[in-house]
Each structure stands twice: as structure tokens, then as C-alpha cells.
Structure 1
Amino acid sequence: MPAIDAAASPARVSAPLLRREGGAWIASEDASGPFTGLQGGAAAALMAAAVEQSAPAGFRPLSFRAEFLRRAPIERSLQVEVRAIVGGSRVRVFESLLSCDGRVHARAQMTLAAPAPESRLTETFESHPISTPFADPERGIRGAPRAPHGGPWLMDSLDGRITPDGVFWFRWIRPLLPPEFQSPFTCLLPPADWAHGIARPGFPGPPPASAWPNLDLTLHTARMPAGDWIGLRPQGHWTTDGFGIGGGELIDRQGAFGRVAMGVAVFA
């Protein structure tokens, strides 16, 4: 589980952004996204946490895809339902739904796999390895953007840095979930969900659009992130007819471990 760096901002280390009350989840206003409502990565983390609780021991995430149907509300009871789709000895596939008052706000499909009992691969292989070592995130330039809606948002709970090699680094300074639900994978999802926002035209200046929400979130991970820092080398593609793709390489201090991608609807 990623550690919470109390030295970075002691005042921010407090209750989780997403708390459990009875059989429901409640998101605090600090878990808001840029356009109000629950941040997409946080919604994805709730669905992923529920799947991880249902998966057998020894299975770990391989791929994850969430679709955001409508913004999940803040400070309302959220329900998460999980259903097993495939139950093999090495691969398990689950479906998860996030709803409020009987209305589905997001859905996800998550594939988990168990390690191979015997592998002929004797060392890690990368067809196009990213050059390492990376710049030290501790020495990166801090980024503390304000929420477009003017209120608190999830970015306030992250220590964000930018290093000269073009990597955006994130470290949690406040718990995302209660300890029994928080994992390296759930902590990865909200930072990964920022990819479409920082891989846009004009960044870090004014955007050439009024809104650019991502409609989905897809991750593939070869391994789980190691250490406190989650790095993102973003890529973006926007067209003049209002379509976009965001994404990038997911890295930590050991190197690349996955990729993120999302579809973007650009509003003039």
C-alpha cells in the first residue's frame, strides 16, 4: 500500500476521501473532479476496490476499463455491485457498477491474473524501454492548480511535481480509501485519470475549449507500482471536430509498468 507522506503536508493527512458508512460509500467534496461531482479516477477506484475484495488471494490487476455514464454525486450514498464474469484458474474477470439511488453512474470491467506457476521468461523484456534513471520527483517543480469550479478537489490531496524530462509525478498526502480497501492499484487510478487534462493543447496555459471530459478510463499494468511516487508521461491527440484521446506511459522510479488511455469529448 502506498505510504502517506505526512511531512509533505501534515494538515492534509486526515480522513479518507472516500469513506465507508454501513454498506455504502460516501465521497467527500475533496474528492471532486474539475467539473464538480466525483473525480472519474476516484469513481474507478471504488469499483476496483470492490473487485479486489472479491478476487481470490494471489490475483492482481492486469487490465481495467471504466465508462463514466454520468457524474457521481458528492456526499451521497454510493453503492458498488460486483459480478464475476469469468472464473478461471489463472484469469478472473469481474464487472462492477457504481450507482446512487438506483441509477448507474459508472461501470467497469476488470481482469485479474495469477502468476504463472512456471515461466520461461528469465528477465524483464521491453521492446521500447524508456530511458532511466528518471529525474528525481522530490526535486521537481510543484504544481498546485486550482479547481475550475473554485472549490476543493482531489488534486488538493496529491503532491504533484513536474520534472525536466516531461514526467508528471504524483504522491498521495491524504488517504484515498480506508486501509482495508486501499491498494497500489486503487491509488494509481485517480492520478492516471488526469492524463487527458495535462496532455492537451496549450498546457499549462488556458485551454482552447470550455470542457474536455474523458468518457472512459482504460489501464493495463504489467506489474504494480512500487514506492510512493506515481509517474505519468502524457500523450494527447485532439481533432478540430471535437474528438480527443488522452493517455500515456505509467512509470515509477524503477521504470515503466503500464499504460493509460481515455476518450475525450471536446466542447467549444
Structure 2
Amino acid sequence: MSEQFASDGKVPAPAYFERTGPGRYRPTAHAGGAWNPGEIHFGPLSGLLVHAIDQHRAAQGAAAAEMQLGRVSFDILGFLADAEIEVQVETVRPGRTIELVEARATIAGRTAALARAWFVATNDTAAVAGGETTPLPAPDAAAPMSMAETWSGGFVASIETRVVGVPQPGRTTAWLSTQTALVAGESTTAHAAYIALVDTANGIAVRQSPTEWMFPNLDLTIHLYRQPVGAWVGLDTSVTFGPDGHGLTSTVLHDIAGPIGRAEQLLTVRPL
């Protein structure tokens, strides 16, 4: 993609997607996938689906202070081609205390991914809050780690990674951050920007070399008991391979203020 300049002559901040029309987006090189050429990574696509859900709710007059994202589940239906994406959003279950919204991403005429998000009414429960895990050491205390040594693609290259402790096969704790915007020229919610990096959990704690084994995830489910803050995504991740070609990537999610929820990814494991 050719370099374009803003009206002030400066190069605009990089983004994973550019809007091409109502509900339509074009991936940039920064969204490039890690498994195959000609595909995009699901990480930024998951963030884009949440971004579209947020815009849909805002257009309907939903107030962010009244409801917060509690769960979002994604199903990845196949190859995510590096092509224009159409996103359609509908409210499946409206309500004042709970609301379910669905988004569908279509690429090259085929439904490529689905997202379902539950929004839950807010209440003051600070007096009974508790049960969370121990916070991670701060990102400043973690050591730089290059994911590019294991994975290729524009998305991986766009992420800054810092590791807590010594990574082990199938077990890694790391902080991730990016300077790349989700959609060029558009502001995004904190939870959409955060979620765009969560799918990377399956790549930070590899159990087997991706040059010998494939273990792509079929889904991603995120539960939040607190909304994310700050620019860093903390992933305390464990990967399990079963004996029959199935695997599971399980992650405790953190931000700079502490733990905020969990994520699970179902894997299909097979030799190359």
C-alpha cells in the first residue's frame, strides 16, 4: 500500500483497517496473519467486530455508563482472506439490564467470523468485590521478547511484547501493547482496543513449533468482570494439547490495574 500523507504533511498513525464505506473495511499490511500468506490475523478482526458492535449500540442511543461488556464470543469459520470486509450488526436481545448483540464479518462473499456480545447493567458492588487472582508485575519490570522469532505477519510485527519470567513450552506470561490504531481516523473504546490483542495468547505460549505443528484456534471467548484500562494487555497463558487432536489455550487477562477476566481458545492440533 502506498504511503499517504495527512493535510499537514505528516504520515498518519498506522491502522489495522481503513473504512471504505458504511460497514465496509479494508485491511492494511499491519493486519497480516501469522499462519499463511494472503490472510489476516484474527486479533485485529476481533477488535473490528467489537468496534462495529460499539458503534451500532451508540447509534441506538445506548449509554456506555449504563451497560458494560461482560462477555464476547467469537467463532472463526475459515480462512480469513486479506480482502475487503463487510460487517453487519444486529441487536438480538435488547433490554435495560442485559443486552445481546451479534456481528457478522463477510469476506469474499463468505461469512468468515461471528461475534456475540453480552452487555450487562452496571451497579455499585465495590463493597463485595473480591476473588481475583494476583496482579502481574508491571510492564516496566518485564523483559522485551520478540514474537517475530516464532511468527511472521504484519500483526505480530506491530506488537510490543514483554515477558514476565522465563517462557516455557505451553506456559508464558507476557504484556502486549501496540501503537497501531484499530480503524484509521476513528476512535475506539478501551475494550475494543484491548480485545484486538487477546487472540495473540495462542501465539505467546507455543507448546510445539509452528513449523512442525499447526494449532490454530477455532474460537475465542472472553469474560470480563472489570473493564480494561491503559495501553497494556496482560496475558497469563497456559496451553494444553489433548491426545485426539484438540487443544485449549486458557488465559487470565490483566491490565495495568490488575486482573480483569479470562479467555479461552479451542485449538485444532495437527502435524504439518
Sort the TM-score into its range (normalised by shorter chain): 0.7 to 0.9
The normalised TM-score by structure 2 is 0.83
- Could you say which residue in structure 2 is the equivalent of 1:25? 25
User: Given the alignment, which residue of 112, 118, 133 partners 1:111?
Assistant: 118
Q: Matched residue of 2:88: which SS?
A: strand
Q: 1:167: how far off?
A: 2.6
Residue of structure 1 in register with 2:84 after alignment: 77
**1:6 match:** none
Give the letter for the 1:28 counterpart. T
**In the aligned structure 2, how far is the partner of 1:182 from the partner of 1:108?**
17
Q: 1:44-83 deviations in whole A, cap 9, x for unaligned?
A: 1121111111121223211000100012222x22100011
The 3 A distance-change label for structure 1 pair 249 and 124 is: farther
Q: Which one of 50, 53, 56 corresponds to residue 51 of structure 1?
A: 53
User: Shift of residue 209 of structure 1?
Assistant: 4.3
1:264 has 2:240 as partner: no
Do the aligned residues in 1 keep the contact of 2:224 with 2:261 (CA within 8 Å)? yes
User: Is contact 1:200-1:238 (8 Å) kept?
Assistant: no
Residue of structure 2 equivalent to 1:162: 163
Matched, 1:200 2:206: yes
Q: 2:127 aligns with which of 118, 123, 127?
A: 123
**2:207 & 2:179 partners in 1: Cα distance?**
29
- Partners of 1:248 and 1:157 lie apart in 2 by 21
Would you say 1:222 and 2:230 are equivalent positions? Answer: no
Could you tell me how far apart the structure 2 residues matched to 1:233 and 1:124 are?
A: 25
Secondary structure at the counterpart of residue 217 of structure 1 = strand
Give TM-score, length-normalised by structure 1: 0.84
Shift in Å, 1:207: 5.0
Give, in whole Å, the separation in 2 of the partners of 1:19 and 1:101: 17
In the TM superposition, structure 1's runs of 4+ consecutive aligned residues that sit over 4 Å from their partners are 147-150
Find the residue that maps to 1:225 and give its secondary structure.
coil
In the other structure, the counterpart of 1:142 is 144
Matched residue of 2:52: which SS? helix
Q: Aligned-pair distance for 1:92? A: 1.0
Cα distance change on mapping 1:238 and 1:131 into 2, 3 Å: same
| Equivalent-residue separation in structure 2 for 1:109 and 1:101 (angstroms) | 22
Q: Determine if contact 1:201/1:208 at 8 Å carries over to the other structure.
A: no
The percent of aligned pairs where both chains have the same amino acid is 21
Uncovered stretches (5+) of structure 1, i.e. residues with no partner: 1-11
Q: Are residue 66 (structure 1) and residue 74 (structure 2) matched?
A: yes
The CA deviation string for residues 219-256 of structure 1, in whole angstroms up to 9 with x for no partner, is 01112211111101002211122110002100112111
From 184, 190, 207, give the equivalent of 2:196: 190
Equivalent residues in 2 for 1:237-256 (5 A)? 237-256=240-259
- Report the residue type matching 2:154 in the other structure: W
- Find 1:233's aligned residue among 232, 236, 255: 236
Name structure 2 gaps, 5 residues minimum. Answer: 1-10, 167-171
- State the distance in 2 between where 1:266 and 1:207 align: 10
User: Is the Cα–Cα contact under 8 Å of residues 15 and 30 in structure 2 kept in the other structure?
Assistant: no
Matched position secondary structure for 1:241: coil
TM-align CA RMSD = 2.2
What do residues 13-52 of structure 1 show as CA deviations (whole Å, max 9, x unaligned)? 8231111112310111221221131111212112111111
Change (3 A) 1:264 1:167: same
* Contact 1:35 1:148 survives alignment (8 Å): no
